[in-house]
Amino acid sequence: MAAYNKEKDVETAVQDDPKTREELKQVFENTARWQPGFKGFSADILVNINGKEEKGAVTVKGSQEIEISVQNEGLRKFAAENLASIAMHRGPRSFEESDGKHKLVYGEDDAHPLGRSVIMGGDGMSSFYRIKEGRIHQINRKTPRFSFSINVEESVKNEEGKFLTRKYTVYYFNGESGALKDVESYTDDYLRVGKADLPRSRRVINCENGAVVVSSMSLSNHKVL
């Protein structure tokens, strides 16, 4: 995904709704994450962007602690950014540390195909989700430069019955005009190692400078640290 800085939370007049909070908390608990105390993993990696590829090794201890031996700058950057994103979203954290710190209330559009909206009062990115059948189907956020919408198309369940997102598409819009800027299509696969669901592969298809770019990374020989 495009890099962005999380905006600071803001004052809000939104009143927290206990029913909304309870449902979103259940959705949060239905999502697969690494166990508390998880120290990371190492693996071999093959990175490929439009046919240019390189093998190397990675060590992931957290979203800010990633070592990659791939030499090509573009390939290394792709792998580093995506492994950081995976580590951030799979990393252990509580509901109260994330979505639960906001004022939560349902939107009015409960018949939407992707589920009813949940508004994050006080979030500095004007975020709202769409939830349905116990999981998130859409995430919407705004930054000063652009806004984006993440749309989940396919999920799988792990051994504990928790959801792992397998396919999703991100739509980016110009912050001023609202015009579509870019589209990224993600396909993920996972490998169970011990009690952790680790990334086995990721493919991203997007448009850059008028051309379609296909980027992928494949990981093997995983070892939990």
Per-residue pLDDT reduced to its tens digit, 200-219: 999 999 987 788 999 999 99
- pLDDT higher than threshold 60 for residue 2: no
Can you give the pTM of this predicted structure? 0.91
| pLDDT for the residue 1 | 60
Coil/strand/helix, residue 106: strand
- Classify residue 57 as exposed, middle or buried by CB count within 10 Å of its CB (0-12, 13-18, 19+): middle
Beta-bridge mates of residue 147: 142, 173
CA distances from 139 to 51, 114, 115, 187, 194 (A): 31, 10, 11, 17, 30
Mean pLDDT of the chain, nearest integer: 92
| pLDDT for the residue 10 | 62
| pLDDT for the residue 15 | 86
Query: DSSP 3-state helix, strand, coil percentages of the chain (rounded to 5)?
Result: 15, 50, 35
| pLDDT for the residue 144 | 85
Long-range CB contact pairs, 164-169, < 8 A, 24+:
164/32, 164/188, 164/190, 164/197
Q: Quick check: 56 and 67 in contact, CB under 8 A?
A: no
| pLDDT for the residue 6 | 55
Mean pLDDT of the region 33-61: 97
- pLDDT higher than threshold 70 for residue 184: yes
Instruction: List the structure tokens of 78.
Output: 């792709």
Mean pLDDT of the region 47-62: 97
| pLDDT for the residue 165 | 97
Instruction: List the structure tokens of 71.
Output: 């030499």
Interatomic CA distance for residues 22 and 20, integer angstroms: 6
CA atoms within 13 A on the CB side of 37: 1
Counting residues of the chain whose pLDDT is more than 90, the rounded percentage is 83
- CA diameter of the chain: 52
- pLDDT higher than threshold 80 for residue 70: yes
The tens digit of pLDDT for each residue in 4-45 reads: 455 555 667 778 999 999 999 999 999 999 999 999 999 999
